[in-house]
Amino acid sequence: MDKTAFPPQGLYYDGAVQRATSGKTFQTVDPATASALASVDIASSSDIDHAVVSAQRAFSSWSKTPIPARARILLKAVEILRLRNDEIARIETLDTGKAFSETSTVDVITGADVLEYYAGLISGGGLNGETTQLREDAWVYTKKAPLGVCAGIGAWNYPIQIALWKSAPCLAAGNTMVYKPSEFTPLHGLVLAQIYTEAGLPPGVFNVVHGAGDVGAHLTTHPGIAKVSFTGQVATGKKVAGSAAGSMKYVTMELGGKSPLIVLPDADLESAVDGAMLANFFSTGQVCTNGTRVFVPATLKSDFESLLLSKMKYIRAGPTMDANTNYGPLSSATHYEKVVNYIRHGIEQDRATLLYGGPDPPASLDSSVRNGYWVAPTVFTDCTDNMKIVQEEIFGPVMSILTYDTVDEAVRRANDTPLGLAAGVFTRDINLAHRIIDRLDAGITWINSWGESPAEMPVGGWKMSGLGVENGRRGIEAWVRNKSTLVDMGGKIATVFTKL
């Protein structure tokens, strides 16, 4: 595919591509080379209104579509996604800079898995209510009703996956959606909308608008929107949640983290090192759940670092479509500057020991992609809890190694953060692992693993890391509202208003 050959990217509503009325566009670029990929229309307020009206019109019929019929359409979309996996993965690689070895095996597949999961869940009674017999002649029954038109605001690091994580339970529950991709990685938006249409989704059920934060803000405050689902950084999430709360909208917020990975003294060292590398350098560190604070027993520090350094050569930067490449650039020029500034701060102000990497591109990088937003995988050691690189989310390939003396100390320091998205423990003692996991303030946790998030697993953050969960059985509850009805069949109304 010629990476300069993408046509202009319009909006999508009423079941078709629409040109924006704003007359404004932005360019999306390939982060590996900094070359332009496509011109993207910016939605005006009027365009957003049109998309919301389209979704409102579709809601009345989609919400009443029998569950088996809804499920069949979603399963058809799953089939198309899987048939076109490599094609879509190439688009994701060009737009995000992630290696094709990753996008072709993770991004589309895990998104399709969630769509398939929710089609199966509603087919198997996942939207059923409950009945309770109060007395012989009185019953209570509950019903799960869809919310209406929902807004999905996507993130740039896993575009197609996050779009599916939001739209799958939304549509399965009978809602309609207006979706805004990140302005840094927008190319998946029309692809997904057209796949849904090809699968049989009626016009207006899934709509796409493009733009930056002002477009998202208009969606968030729009009176026709019943719910906002947002994935992104904490500061923006707080604004979105506050704005949505002002008009009593439902919200799901999947925000950032500064997650601890605790290596216990009895851990298998190779597994712990492999886990730490996965938790810091997969997807070039641009993963919200990354375990960037690696707590290692002081007695194991030397061995851990030696083994880690011996494995860093297996991180292979290069042309992103090369099957051997497993490490790409950062997603944009803006993000590149942010990450490089953190690395320089770690060296110059925090005075942490730079064990590996630094602010320069990987030394082995192919000259054909050196114009992109590349930074070397970086490891700091001799870190302390008060360092900026330890306290703040960098969202890049930067590992901080901290040592501890006792497990209680490690747990206390791990929890000493306003964030609580993820955490993990590496140990041979599974009973101890469960006890420690129970003490960690995080909504997503792993034992002797890191990062896997299957469709069946509800995920969401604690503290400032989010509200609500995505995926799993609990995930569908975020897209419905409950209606309870009491039916009295006794034939008489008990009343205090009687003649004395």
**Percent share of the chain, pLDDT over 90:** 95
For 396-440, what is each residue's pLDDT tens digit?
Answer: 999 999 999 999 999 999 999 999 999 999 999 999 999 999 999
For 16-75, what is each residue's pLDDT tens digit?
Answer: 999 999 999 999 999 999 999 999 999 999 999 999 999 999 999 999 999 999 999 999
For 155-205, what is each residue's pLDDT tens digit?
Answer: 999 999 999 999 999 999 999 999 999 999 999 999 999 999 999 999 999
CA distances in angstroms from 132 to 135, 136, 307, 491, listed in the order given: 9, 11, 59, 19
For 281-301, what is each residue's pLDDT tens digit?
Answer: 999 999 999 999 999 999 999
pLDDT band at residue 5 using 50, 70 and 90 as cut-offs: low
Contacts of 341 (CB under 8 A, 6+ apart): none
pLDDT band at residue 498 using 50, 70 and 90 as cut-offs: confident
pLDDT at 457: 97
Q: How far apart are CA 268 and CA 280, in angstroms?
A: 19
Q: Encoding tokens for residue 52? A: 């919301």
| Residues forming beta bridges with residue 404, ordered by sequence position | 297
What 3-state class would DSSP assign to 474? Answer: helix
The pTM (predicted TM-score) of the whole model is 0.95
145-169 as b/e, with b when 16 or more CB fall inside 10 Å?
A: bbbbbbbbbbbbbbbbbbbbbbbbb
Q: What share of the chain is helix, strand, coil (3-state, %, to 5)?
A: 40, 20, 40
Residue 3 has pLDDT above 80, yes or no: no
User: What's the chain's length in residues?
Assistant: 500
Q: How far apart are CA 119 and CA 113, in angstroms?
A: 10
- End-to-end CA separation in angstroms for the chain: 87
Q: Is 254 known to be catalytic?
A: yes
Residue 218 has pLDDT above 90, yes or no: yes
Q: What are phi and psi of 113, to 5 degrees?
A: -60, -40
Contact 225, 170 (CB under 8 A): no
**What rounded mean pLDDT belongs to the chain?**
96
pLDDT at 367: 82
DSSP 432: H
From 102, 116, 254, 393, active-site residue: 254
For 160-170, what is each residue's pLDDT tens digit?
Answer: 999 999 999 99
pLDDT at 4: 47
Which is more confidently placed, 394 or 366? 394
DSSP 252: E
Average the pLDDT over 268-272 and give the result. Answer: 98
What 3-state class would DSSP assign to 154? Answer: coil
Domains of the chain, first to last? 11-256+465-485 (3.40.605.10), 260-447 (3.40.309.10)
pLDDT at 2: 45
